[in-house]
Amino acid sequence: MPDHIHCLFLLNPEKSIAEVIKQIKGSSSHFINQYNLIADKFAWQTGYAAFSVSESGVKSVSDYITHQKEHHQKKTFQQEIEEFLKLYGFEKEKEC
């Protein structure tokens, strides 16, 4: 998707989510900029969201990621995240 990415991975218990996200963002930014894959300098936004998934939910999450392009033709990412936050009782962080 042009404005977000979903990743599904098994987290090493010796690593924090913050460490893994920092590595993903750093490595991918370096690769994109090193090979000039876009016209402007690439940089990730500062925030991210992370959710745990039970073993029984892995297939459905994987299927969702595989088919997210079709899914987002029906609902924008912004609509989806707002519905998700409301459904599960999370408060959306206010932007500074």
Domain-embedded: residue 96: no
Task: Say if residue 95's pLDDT is above 80.
Answer: no
pLDDT in tens, 11-45: 999 999 999 999 999 999 999 999 999 999 999 99
Q: Distances in Å between the alpha carbon of 32 and those of 4, 5, 9?
A: 15, 15, 21
What is the per-residue pLDDT for 94? Answer: 55
What is the per-residue pLDDT for 18? Answer: 95
Domain-embedded: residue 64: yes
Structural domain count of the chain = 1
Collect all residues with Cβ–Cβ distance below 8 Å to 83 and sequence separation of at least 6. Answer: 75
Domain-embedded: residue 94: no
Q: Which domain holds residue 61?
A: 17-87
What is the per-residue pLDDT for 96? Answer: 45
Task: Say if residue 88's pLDDT is above 90.
Answer: no
The owner of tokens 């900029």 is 33
What is the per-residue pLDDT for 91? Answer: 72
Average pLDDT, the chain: 89
Task: Say if residue 73's pLDDT is above 50.
Answer: yes
pTM of full prediction above 0.75: no
Domain-embedded: residue 93: no
Collect all residues with Cβ–Cβ distance below 8 Å to 42 and sequence separation of at least 6. Answer: 29, 32, 33
Task: Say if residue 93's pLDDT is above 70.
Answer: no
Span between the terminal Cα atoms of the chain, in Å? 25
